[in-house]
């Protein structure tokens, strides 16, 4: 039995009940539902959830707009569930804070598998390890235990999957990883994603930590190979401070 709390936001009672049944069979008994955006926000404001499954087509709003509202309250994983299968919709969902994207019609076992992956990755990062609890890379501070990102002394909101990706890169500085390796390590062993998922999350992280996101120097793309995290060297930081004064 799991203590994780899940919120399903979908206006189709049949889908909600099917997902609830499958999640119950998997041991997730704390499953709530909301059928409109307004109902969802009321529940999110009153309760704490560990994961949200969000339909894009809702009667009073669309999931993209609702996701942005949810991100003002919580950074828990959001799995989009929608009949829209176009790349533009997928990229939009990931860019505004979604962690995964599932298209209808879907196999409910696939949804459960993705939910399991999200929680498995969270638990892995919460386990005690030999890795640093706090990283300080120049102006960037990463607090593993508190799940907080600070840049230039200011806390930067960071959704769960982005934070996991940042931690993975911080744990392996200056090491090159292919997109496939990153996806497997951060999204789990179930290979149900693509290059766009990684690229979108990298782009969002760059906007948070790079001095110039258009010319990234921290998360570097090696064309045709993959990505690597290049921490700022303390000497370089000192030189920049000296030049500014």
User: What is d(CA 188, CA 137) in angstroms, rounded to the nearest whole number?
Assistant: 26
- Output the pTM of the full model: 0.59
Strand ranges of the sheet holding 154-156, from the earlier edge strand across to the other edge: 134-137, 140-143, 148-151, 154-156
Rg (CA), the chain: 19
**Residue whose token pair is 């999110």:** 44
Cβ atoms of 199 and 226 closer than 8 Å: no
Question: What is the CB neighbour count within 10 angstroms for residue 233?
Answer: 11
Which of these, 231, 116, 219, 230, lies nearest to 162 by C-alpha position? 219
What's the confidence (pLDDT) of residue 193? Answer: 52
Stated as kind and residue range, the H or E segment containing 100 is strand 100-103
Where are the CATH 1.10.10.10 domain residues in the chain? Answer: 134-244
Question: What's the pLDDT at 241?
Answer: 38
- List, by residue range, all CATH 3.40.50.2300 domains of the chain: 2-126
Per-residue pLDDT of the chain (245 residues; tens, 9 = 90+): 678 999 999 999 999 999 999 999 989 999 999 999 999 999 999 999 999 999 999 999 989 999 999 988 888 889 998 776 666 666 777 777 788 888 888 888 888 888 988 887 776 555 544 578 899 998 999 999 899 999 999 999 999 899 999 999 999 888 888 888 888 888 875 545 567 888 999 999 999 999 999 999 999 998 778 899 998 864 344 434 333 44
What pLDDT is recorded for position 132?
Answer: 82
- The CATH class of 134-244 is mainly alpha
Q: Which CATH class is domain 2-126?
A: alpha beta
Peptide bond into 222 cis (omega under 30): no
């Amino acid at each position: 039995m799991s203590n994780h709390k899940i919120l399903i936001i979908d206006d189709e009672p049949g889908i909600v009940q099917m997902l609830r049944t499958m999640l119950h069979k998997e041991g997730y008994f704390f499953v709530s539902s909301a059928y409109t955006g307004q109902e969802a926000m009321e529940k999110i404001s009153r309760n704490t959830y560990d994961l949200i499954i969000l339909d894009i087509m809702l009667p009073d709003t669309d999931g993209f707009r609702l996701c942005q509202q949810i991100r003002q309250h919580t950074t828990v994983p959001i799995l989009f569930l929608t009949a829209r299968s176009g790349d533009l919709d997928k990229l939009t969902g990931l860019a505004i804070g979604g962690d995964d994207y599932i298209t209808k019609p879907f196999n409910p076992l696939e949804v459960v598998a993705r939910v399991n992956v999200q929680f498995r990755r969270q638990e892995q990062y919460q386990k005690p390890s030999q890795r640093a609890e706090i990283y300080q890379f120049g102006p960037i501070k990463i607090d593993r235990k508190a799940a907080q990102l600070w840049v230039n002394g200011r806390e930067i909101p960071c959704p769960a999957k982005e934070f996991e990706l940042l931690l993975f890169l911080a744990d392996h500085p200056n090491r090159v990883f292919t997109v496939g390796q990153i996806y497997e390590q951060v999204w789990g062993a179930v290979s149900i994603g693509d290059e766009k998922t990684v690229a979108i999350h990298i782009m969002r992280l760059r906007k948070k930590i790079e001095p110039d996101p258009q010319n990234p120097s921290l998360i570097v793309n090696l064309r045709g190979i993959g990505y690597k995290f290049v921490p700022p060297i303390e000497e370089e930081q000192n030189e920049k401070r000296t030049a500014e004064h």
